[in-house]
């Protein structure tokens, strides 16, 4: 799924790296625990989270993710957005809650990668 489609489906605002919207996402994951993202996630392109501190961007960066979607109307502070921009990570913000945002993407064919059960 193109990131522009993700943006459209989630009625999201683009906070940085708009040029990344042309990129493709094969899979996504949703979590507010970065430890879990680092432990269980493999080759996901998108991180959906309600956590807005810089470690969200660091986690996405370590995992080679292309896009972070901040859910439930959360907006990170400018330094967090700058950090994402410096690392070429597209940042979106949606007013949907986590469950709904993940549900919309899943229902439209964007699945999680690999084994869903740990």
Residue 115 contacts another protein per CB under 8 A? no
Residue 56 contacts another protein per CB under 8 A? yes
Number of residues that bind another protein (CB under 8 A): 21
Residue 91 contacts another protein per CB under 8 A? no
Name which position in 8, 13, 62, 99 contacts another protein (CB under 8 A): 62
Listed ranges 9-17, 47-55, 66-74, 91-99: which one lies at the site for another protein (CB under 8 A): 47-55
CB 107 within 8 A of CB 21: no
**Which parts of this chain interact with another protein (CB under 8 A)?**
32-36, 38-39, 49, 51, 53-56, 58-59, 61-64, 79, 87
């Amino acid at each position: 799924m193109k990131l522009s489609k993700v943006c459209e489906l989630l009625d999201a605002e683009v906070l940085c790296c708009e040029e990344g919207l042309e990129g493709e996402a094969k899979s996504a994951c949703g979590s507010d625990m970065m430890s879990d993202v680092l432990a269980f996630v493999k080759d996901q392109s998108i991180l959906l989270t309600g956590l807005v501190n810089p470690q969200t961007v660091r986690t996405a960066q370590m995992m080679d993710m292309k896009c972070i979607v901040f859910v439930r109307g959360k907006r990170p502070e400018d330094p967090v957005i700058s950090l994402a921009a410096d690392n070429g990570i597209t940042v979106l913000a949606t007013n949907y809650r986590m469950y709904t945002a993940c549900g919309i993407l899943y229902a439209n064919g964007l699945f999680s990668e690999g084994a869903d059960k740990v």
